[in-house]
């Protein structure tokens, strides 16, 4: 029952974050700066240590670091193959594709979040509650990030809402999958490392430059720092 309520709470947190992004879309550059900080923060303060914590019993630092680098490079290649030109170009007929790739990656991360929560409950209820609490808090940022991925490339609000729903349902499906599937922690660590590479690229090479495009850099920089600080505080309080 506790696992069920955790899944619902994560779903609602993502939805609330997305609605917040839609409500204040006129301040998109500030939200992009905040999103960049939160995505980078999740990569360094959540995914990075988690990948090592889960995998060091089987893999060494060099191997896990290599998987992180592969994640970064593979996302970069995919990003440039799908969107080799800037999406401010009005002649582009597929301007939302780049945003969809980012939203899909974040949604897959949310799916893994749900999976991690479910697996944590398999170990112990106490651990499950602690992990779920951390996921619930940063799920709000996930909702902002998924929505911004679509809005930042000029995607329609209806498309942003669609991906917000997908992003909110993803962790719920992750929890459901965890009931039927047993995954070794060492194998899960490689998935976490791969997504760490994805998030480093999304935050540093995509969201961060876009937030500074034609906007005052001081306030977007402040927003980025706040995003990083928020995730740092959350992960420290949660003991991640």
Nearest to 33 by CA among 240, 165, 229: 229
> What's the pLDDT tens digit per position in 153-198?
778 888 889 999 999 999 999 999 988 887 676 777 888 888 888 8
Question: In angstroms, what CA-CA distances link 167 with 23, 115, 129, 145?
Answer: 18, 14, 21, 10
For the chain (240 residues), the mean pLDDT of every run of 10, in chain order, is 87 90 76 81 86 88 95 83 50 60 82 82 74 75 82 82 93 91 76 85 77 70 89 75
Spacing of C-alpha 134 from chain mean position: 13
**Structure confidence at residue 85 (pLDDT):** 45
pLDDT of res. 1: 74
Distance CA 205, CA 186 (A): 29
- 91 burial class (0-12, 13-18, 19+ CB within 10 angstroms)? exposed
Burial degree of 119 (CB within 10 A; 0-12, 13-18, 19+): buried
Q: Which of 235, 7, 239 is nearest to 121 (CA)?
A: 7
Question: What distances in angstroms separate CA 120 from CA 52, 112, 117, one per listed residue?
Answer: 16, 12, 5
Tell me the pTM: 0.66
Looking at residue 92, its pLDDT comes to: 47
Given this model, what pLDDT does residue 152 score? 74
User: For residue 96, what are the contacts with CB-CB under 8 A and spacing of at least 6?
Assistant: 150, 153, 154, 155, 156, 159
User: What is residue 239's predicted lDDT score, i.e. its pLDDT?
Assistant: 62
pLDDT tens sequence across 27-45 = 767 777 887 888 888 889 8
Look at residue 169 in the predicted model and tell me its pLDDT. Answer: 95
- Check if the beta carbon of residue 76 is closer than 8 Å to that of residue 67: no
Q: How many degrees, rounded to 5, is the angle at CA 130 between CA 199 and CA 14?
A: 50
């Amino acid at each position: 029952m506790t696992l069920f309520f955790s899944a619902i709470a994560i779903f609602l947190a993502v939805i609330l974050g997305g609605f917040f992004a839609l409500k204040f879309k006129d301040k998109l550059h500030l939200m992009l700066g905040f999103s960049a900080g939160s995505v980078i923060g999740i990569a360094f303060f959540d995914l990075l240590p988690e990948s090592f914590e889960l995998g060091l019993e089987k893999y060494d630092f060099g191997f896990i670091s290599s998987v992180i680098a592969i994640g970064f490079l593979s996302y970069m290649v995919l990003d440039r193959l799908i969107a080799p030109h800037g999406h401010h170009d009005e002649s582009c007929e597929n301007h939302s594709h780049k945003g969809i790739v980012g939203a899909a990656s974040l949604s897959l991360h949310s799916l893994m979040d749900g999976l991690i929560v479910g697996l944590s409950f398999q170990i112990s209820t106490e651990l499950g509650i602690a992990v779920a609490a951390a996921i619930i808090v940063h799920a709000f940022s996930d909702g902002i990030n998924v929505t911004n991925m679509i809005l930042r490339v000029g995607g329609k609000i209806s498309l942003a809402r669609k991906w917000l729903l997908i992003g909110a349902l993803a962790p719920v499906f992750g929890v459901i999958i965890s009931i039927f599937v047993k995954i070794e922690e060492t194998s899960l660590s490689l998935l976490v490392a791969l997504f760490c590479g994805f998030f480093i690229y999304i935050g540093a090479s995509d969201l961060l430059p876009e937030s500074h495009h034609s906007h005052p850099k001081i306030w977007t920089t402040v927003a980025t720092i706040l995003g990083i600080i928020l995730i740092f505080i959350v992960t420290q309080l949660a003991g991640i």
